[in-house]
Amino acid sequence: MNAIGELIQDSRKIVLKIGSNVLSGDDGAINKDAIGNIVEQVAGLIRQGKHVIIVSSGAGICGVAAINKWSRRGDINYKQALCAIGQVELMNAYKEYFAHNNLHVGQMLLTREDFGDNIRTLNIRNTLFTLVDEGVVPIINENDSVSVEEIKIGDNDTLGALTANLWNADLLIVMSDIDGVFDKNPKDDKGAELIEEVFDIDGLLTEIDSSGTSSFGTGGIVTKIQAARRVNEYGIPMLLVNGKRKDVLTNAVNGTEKGTIFYSSCRR
């Protein structure tokens, strides 16, 4: 078994962050086949006795898919309204596919303010532990319909890291549209090489081209590296994989998929 397979197998409490670009097709529309495949993999992990919390982007693209006539509206009120509509569509999709596996889901919408208040933080922890203990899959997203700059978390890579730290997870898995961290931008340079293991984030940043963001997401590789730094400080490793690949988690355990592992110095 390879390093990724061993890491997933050894982790009982897993936070899985899913990016908008993973859940959308090339046209930006929601890809329900992708959601269904991810749910099947999560259900497989749960059947192995693992506990999984999902941090999911995608409310915005689900909103556009539902009411396409607003897609070109740039006003913040329309964007927040699209997220409010899309959140329903997104949760319905998760509910449907998890129900096929006899699993229930629970929704939690959070803002940065929630993580800065001790009472709210305790309430979040209590809810998460209760849901997981009862076999319900928590699905977390930022509360975009009410978030303003002062209370916005910013991106779901950060939200995934905050959730992993709060829950004291064994592993944070970030699903993006790239295979991992490369020494150069693989979308621009065919000679880019995958970096499979990272032990020194500061050293990594001096060696790679970290520019660029995806078309449908808010975060680029920098936000993912920042998320890795956040969880590594709490002794939690992070795995970055290409979530657009079918059965990526299952295949990673079997050693047929690669990614980038960010190791915490506490767990080397």
* pLDDT-based confidence at residue 24 (cuts at 50, 70, 90): confident
188: left (phi over 0), alpha (psi -120 to 50) or beta: alpha
| Domains assigned to the chain | 3-267 (3.40.1160.10)
Q: What single-letter DSSP state applies at residue 140?
A: E
CA–CA dist 92, 186 (Å, integer): 34
Contact 170, 233 (CB under 8 A): no
* pLDDT-based confidence at residue 70 (cuts at 50, 70, 90): low
pLDDT (tens digit per residue) in 214-247:
433 344 788 899 999 999 999 999 999 999 999 9
* Contacts of residue 33, Cβ cutoff 8 Å, sequence gap at least 6: none
Position 260 scores a pLDDT of: 96
Position 243 scores a pLDDT of: 95
Position 147 scores a pLDDT of: 64
pLDDT (tens digit per residue) in 178-208:
899 988 777 778 888 899 999 999 888 887 7
Closest CA to 226 of 184, 262, 190, 260: 262
Q: What is the mean pLDDT of the chain?
A: 86
**pTM for the predicted model, two decimal places:** 0.90
Closest CA to 181 of 113, 105, 242: 242
Check residues 209 and 61 and name the one with the higher pLDDT. Answer: 61
* pLDDT-based confidence at residue 17 (cuts at 50, 70, 90): very high
pLDDT (tens digit per residue) in 77-122:
777 888 888 888 889 999 999 999 999 999 999 988 899 899 999 9
Position 266 scores a pLDDT of: 59
CA–CA dist 166, 101 (Å, integer): 27
Q: What single-letter DSSP state applies at residue 154?
A: -
Pairing, β 194-195 against β 181-182: antiparallel
* Contacts of residue 173, Cβ cutoff 8 Å, sequence gap at least 6: 8, 14, 15, 16, 17, 238, 239, 241, 249
Position 29 scores a pLDDT of: 74
Determine how many CB atoms are found less than 10 A away from the CB of residue 68: 10
* pLDDT-based confidence at residue 213 (cuts at 50, 70, 90): very low
* pLDDT-based confidence at residue 74 (cuts at 50, 70, 90): low
Contact 159, 231 (CB under 8 A): no
Please give the torsion angle defined by the CA atoms of residues 154, 193, 209 and 27, in that order, rounded to the nearest 10 degrees: -50
**Averaged over 138-155, what is the pLDDT?**
73
Position 104 scores a pLDDT of: 98
